[in-house]
């Protein structure tokens, strides 16, 4: 009886140690961000050049420091002439540390658009500011998204998160 109990405890201890051992890593699915963005474009009728690439100097002005982060994939688009909030940034970074830095930069964009007591906000119009208040930065491992949409915020965020489910 003692021998059986000792053996059972030993097996339990070994299984607990095995479960606790090893380095925890976050695994994320491989996601084609271009395909995802194309789906958004189709779903929400953003064709005919409605959304333009944010690149070069404009990218640096909107998201200071983002171009310094090494990315595997990067899509940054917004309408150039619209009072309606629609801004989408999708990126995959080399590391989760870089993804966290990118997420902070993208959150700064939202904070700037919303404004506060010392900054009137970049969005200007009350409806735009309300839309920016609902905007989200979502990090999934090395992937990060800034999703800001007056009309489709919840659906876009859900679709993005579903990519990783």
Domain that holds residue 88: 29-162
Kindly state whether residue 89 falls inside one of the protein's structural domains: yes
Confidence (pTM):
0.82
Kindly state whether residue 18 falls inside one of the protein's structural domains: no
Kindly state whether residue 92 falls inside one of the protein's structural domains: yes
Mean pLDDT in residue range 25-50: 88
What is the pLDDT confidence band of residue 119, given thresholds at 50, 70 and 90? Answer: confident
Query: Measuring CA to CA, how many Å separate 99 from each of 35, 106, 154?
Result: 20, 10, 22
What is the pLDDT confidence band of residue 107, given thresholds at 50, 70 and 90? Answer: very high
**What is the structure's pLDDT at 5?**
36
Kindly state whether residue 19 falls inside one of the protein's structural domains: no
Asked if 59 and 72 touch (Cβ cutoff 8 Å), the reply is no
pLDDT of 24 higher than 80: no
Place of tokens 């109990």: 5
How far is Cα 146 from Cα 149, in angstroms, rounded to an integer?
10
Q: How many domains does the chain have?
A: 1
What are 21's strand-pairing partners?
none
Kindly state whether residue 21 falls inside one of the protein's structural domains: no
Q: Give the tokens for residue 75.
A: 């899509």
Mean pLDDT in residue range 129-140: 96
Kindly state whether residue 77 falls inside one of the protein's structural domains: yes
SS (H, E, C) the chain: CHHHHHHHHHHHHHHHHHHHCCCCCCCCCCCCHHHHHHHHHHHHCCCCCCCEECCHHHHHHHCCCHHHCCEEEEEEEECCCCCCCEEEEEEEECCHHHHHHHHHHHHHHHHHHHCCCCCCCCCCCHHHHHHHHHCEEEEECCEEEEEEECCCHHHHHHHHHHCCC
Kindly state whether residue 11 falls inside one of the protein's structural domains: no
Kindly state whether residue 7 falls inside one of the protein's structural domains: no
């Amino acid at each position: 009886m003692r021998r059986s109990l000792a053996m059972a405890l030993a097996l339990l201890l070994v299984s607990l140690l095995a479960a606790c051992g090893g380095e925890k890593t976050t695994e994320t699915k491989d996601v084609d961000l271009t395909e995802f963005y194309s789906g958004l474009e189709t779903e929400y009728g953003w064709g005919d050049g409605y959304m333009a690439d944010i690149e070069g100097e404009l990218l640096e002005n909107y998201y200071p420091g983002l171009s310094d982060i090494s990315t595997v994939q990067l899509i940054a688009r917004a309408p150039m002439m619209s009072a309606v909030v629609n801004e989408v940034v999708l990126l995959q970074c080399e590391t989760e540390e870089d993804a966290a830095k990118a997420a902070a930069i993208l959150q700064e964009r939202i904070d700037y658009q919303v404004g506060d007591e010392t900054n009137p906000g970049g969005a200007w119009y009350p409806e735009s500011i309300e839309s920016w208040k609902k905007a989200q930065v979502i990090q999934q491992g090395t992937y990060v998204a800034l999703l800001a949409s007056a009309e489709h915020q919840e659906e876009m965020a859900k679709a993005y998160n579903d990519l990783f489910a």
